[in-house]
Amino acid sequence: MAASSERILVLGKARDLLDCFSPAEPELGFGELRRRTHLPPSTCSRLVSSLTELGFLERRGESYRPGARLVRWSAARLASAPGLQELARRRLEELRDETGETSRLYVRDGLLRVCVAAAETRRPVGRAVRVGEVLPLYAGAAGKVFLAFDEMLDVPEALSQARPMTAATITEDGAWEQELRRIRRAGYAASFGEREGETAAVAAPVRDPTGRVVAALGIGAPRYRLGPRTAARLAPLVVEAAESLSSDLGANR
């Protein structure tokens, strides 16, 4: 068999493995993967190990689920749907100029969020989150926006992933209930050192014409520039930018 044909055959088997996963079944054990693909045990084991090593799969106990690399690619596709990035660029730049801080747009894929667009601060010290970076929902303002407002999200499942990233990371159920109530009342989320000790952020939900949350738009900065009082002062600008982007997408204000 020619080398090119062999490569296509291997890619086809890898595709068959990844096709086993779906929103209804995001995690599967090795036995179930082998049963569904009809691959020999040694072949299936070798492919699963390689896909896990490359970041296409992620092991969780005895099960596997799509990995962060696939989430990033999926988010890139989500971000290209009906002009989200193009429409967001203007709003991100306006928000950056109004606040002086880096503005970013995140979309959710499963229990993760991905930065899909940004307008970097012109100040010499900013907040380093790269476009394409995959982050958890349970730490940071944008993640908390999805937890508070995204009705399609399984919040208990998302919170079951929570682990301390800093001393400020929320991990207890009672504290989460109080925090999500506060966010819903305020209409925005703020975080101070939850993911990285010296950073802070403010974010608000972006909605489509049906009212569904499709993104979170916000600003991030070093904590010495974005403390609680400054965050409260800038939050209306963040909310206005998110609402303007929602309106651009066809949502009613």
Low-confidence winner among 1-10, 83-92, 200-209 (lowest mean pLDDT): 1-10
- Per-residue pLDDT for 78 more than 80? no
pLDDT on residue 174: 93
Nearest to 111 by CA among 23, 213, 177, 37: 23
- Per-residue pLDDT for 81 more than 60? no
pLDDT in tens, 199-227: 999 999 999 888 999 999 999 999 999 99
Low-confidence winner among 54-63, 203-212, 213-222, 241-250 (lowest mean pLDDT): 54-63
Helix axes 68-80, 84-99, angle to 10 degrees: 90
pLDDT on residue 110: 85
Tokens for 52? 């896990």
- Per-residue pLDDT for 44 more than 90? yes
- Per-residue pLDDT for 79 more than 60? no
- In angstroms and rounded to an integer, the radius of gyration of the C-alpha atoms of the chain is 20
pLDDT in tens, 93-137: 999 999 999 999 999 988 889 888 899 998 887 666 678 788 899
- 36-40, 77-81, 127-131, 236-240, range with greatest mean pLDDT: 236-240
pLDDT on residue 80: 54
Q: Give phi and psi for 132, each to the nearest 5.
A: 100, -10
Place of tokens 């991030």: 220
- Per-residue pLDDT for 1 more than 70? no
Q: How far apart are CA 246 and CA 214, in angstroms?
A: 9
Query: Is the model more confident about 20 or about 230?
Result: 230
Q: What is the pTM of this model?
A: 0.73
pLDDT in tens, 148-172: 999 989 999 999 989 999 999 999 9
Q: How confident is the model at residue 187 (pLDDT cuts 50, 70, 90)?
A: very high
- Is 227 in contact with 192 (CB distance < 8 Å)? yes
Nearest to 78 by CA among 25, 161, 146: 146
- Structural domains present in the chain: 3-66 (1.10.10.10), 82-248 (3.30.450.40)
- 14-18, 74-78, 177-181, range with greatest mean pLDDT: 177-181
Q: How far apart are CA 84 and CA 78, in angstroms?
A: 9
Q: How far apart are CA 58 and CA 66, in angstroms?
A: 6
- Per-residue pLDDT for 58 more than 70? yes
- Is 217 in contact with 206 (CB distance < 8 Å)? yes
pLDDT on residue 205: 98
Q: How confident is the model at residue 253 (pLDDT cuts 50, 70, 90)?
A: low
